[in-house]
Structure 1
């Protein structure tokens, strides 16, 4: 039976690849909906991008919702310097032909968890604002969550938006604190693992060689997206962060980590948004997350190439 998931996202080129990967695997993943959140770019762009990407997959059965337009307690911080002014800069973008569902994304999350108790995995690829708002609005749904598999945080790699913080957590640390303290089962894909998923030239060429529109779009998106990280880190390519979430659901054997305590810094000016990961067990704080540290990058890209090639 396909695993029911909700993708919560702020597309973002790597978000787009993650969405396509999920929608390419209906036999394994039943995508109940895609919910946009403000993050990489403001909400009017993220919901538009989510509709464009979902439409590119050829799937017209997956609804797209708009969620929260701002963090719980702070002004929105965005990342046009990485993703471009649209959030999906690179190839020319078509107009979205999928409509935006009129239901608020937070209400959709709540309704879905109540309709499918302990059967829905939440897949946040951006700031955790929508998930936290759902937990605040309807605390009864927290024990109904099967699992949260998220991209966010770091420990050994530390920060990519500040010296101490990863972008998704930094944008809404109060939301992250609510989610990590909720008691829901959490698996996190931090920078420590996503930085191993580099878009090297042969891997990008694999998308170009597919001969389908989805493969060409992924190659073009990664070609744009990687320019920032290659300059910043001096690496051979850019990390494809968000597809790690979906790849984990498809083949968890590609990843390894350990269950630890993770706390979110919400007060310090220097370390705001830091994921304080007790990786070595030096405190007696209760473990609350599976922290993924390592991956089989070649296996990850083999999976990506195989599944993206299925799309139109």
Structure 2
């Protein structure tokens, strides 16, 4: 007698984000994948102000058809440093390219009254240990606050899969990636805690380029989520062309969600990773030691490559399902 292999249970995640064009794509991927169960969504200032990114999260959730998800507003500035400027040159004045509130109303979801860090703590402490993955795709302020608010979550979280950092060059500065440079002290806390941290950084995300052919595949799906993603990516592509000279924009944040859905998409390498806090030219740099294979246990892992074709198949399948 043959037995049918049992399908693995969906990965249970809290998505902490700052929408942002690529965060919007990450929300759609998480919402549309049968391999992910979205437990909560929290927001943090980064690509735009906390008010705008929270509104954007609700707007994307509406298109995804999600009406019953706990959503909490989080940190409006870094732990210690002054708030840095948002990135309208890449993400537009609203954060979703050229889309306006009138074109894309918010979902009918009441914000959870708890601050984001408290919601994160409550969900992790409520669920069985080792079952919740944190997926931050913006500055790491909320995650650091949660770890300090309730240190027990560090041993209960399955892992942290974050979009941020880089093993080589940055984008906010020559050495630092935007999310980490935005709040390096928070990033330092997250990387130094003994939970498993997988860094999906620029070395990997620069490979996931939304070129014209990819955007046409998404447009051809024809669903409202696909139409939203197509519109956002067209604006995103033009902004990247003008401001960075890229012929196709990298879609950073969904790469972290994709890693949770299917880690076989990603080339992963254990490596000690630390955040530079004091360098005159290197503050916010994620210093990854790739000189030799790691011997023994290492709780930090660098993502170095991605199967681009399979990544886009995941993304397009998600917007078809929604």
Same fold (TM over 0.5): yes
Q: 2:161 is matched with which residue?
A: 149
Q: Could you tell me whether the CA contact under 8 Å between 2:270 and 2:294 is conserved in 1?
A: no
Cα shift at 1:60: 1.2
Distance 1:168 1:60 in 2: 28
2:203 match: secondary structure: helix
Q: 1:41 is matched with which residue?
A: 48
Cα shift at 1:232: 4.8
Q: Which moved more, 1:56-65 or 1:120-129?
A: 56-65
Q: 2:257 is matched with which residue?
A: 246
Which residue of the other structure, out of 125, 128, 148, is the alignment partner of 2:137?
125
Q: 2:269 is matched with which residue?
A: 258
Distance 1:284 1:212 in 2: 48
Q: Could you tell me whether the CA contact under 8 Å between 1:51 and 1:100 is conserved in 2?
A: no
1:271 match: secondary structure: coil
With over 3 angstroms needed to count, the CA separation of the structure-2 counterparts of 1:122 and 1:283, relative to structure 1, is: closer
Distance 1:251 1:196 in 2: 17
2:159 match: secondary structure: strand
Please tell me the root mean square deviation across aligned C-alpha atoms, in Å. 1.7
Q: Could you tell me whether the CA contact under 8 Å between 1:261 and 1:285 is conserved in 2?
A: no
Gaps of 5+ in 1: none
| CA deviations over 1:84-124 (Å, ceiling 9, x no partner) | 11111223442213221212111110111111122100000
With over 3 angstroms needed to count, the CA separation of the structure-2 counterparts of 1:285 and 1:155, relative to structure 1, is: farther
With over 3 angstroms needed to count, the CA separation of the structure-2 counterparts of 1:270 and 1:286, relative to structure 1, is: farther
Q: Is 1:20 matched with 2:28?
A: yes
Q: Which moved more, 1:225-234 or 1:178-187?
A: 225-234
Q: Could you tell me whether the CA contact under 8 Å between 1:191 and 1:241 is conserved in 2?
A: yes
Q: 2:15 is matched with which residue?
A: 7
With over 3 angstroms needed to count, the CA separation of the structure-2 counterparts of 1:131 and 1:304, relative to structure 1, is: same
Q: Which moved more, 1:77-86 or 1:270-279?
A: 77-86
Distance 1:193 1:110 in 2: 29
Tell me how many residue pairs correspond in the alignment. 309
Cα shift at 1:284: 9.2
Q: 1:204 is matched with which residue?
A: 215
Q: 1:29 is matched with which residue?
A: 36
Tell me the TM-score normalised to structure 2 length.
Answer: 0.92
Q: Is 1:95 matched with 2:102?
A: no
Distance 1:272 1:284 in 2: 28
Which residue of the other structure, out of 35, 45, 67, is the alignment partner of 1:60?
67
Tell me the TM-score normalised to structure 1 length.
Answer: 0.95
Which residue of the other structure, out of 77, 86, 107, is the alignment partner of 1:70?
77
Gaps of 5+ in 2: 1-8
| CA deviations over 1:116-151 (Å, ceiling 9, x no partner) | 122100000000000000111111211111110000
Distance 2:294 2:96 in 1: 42
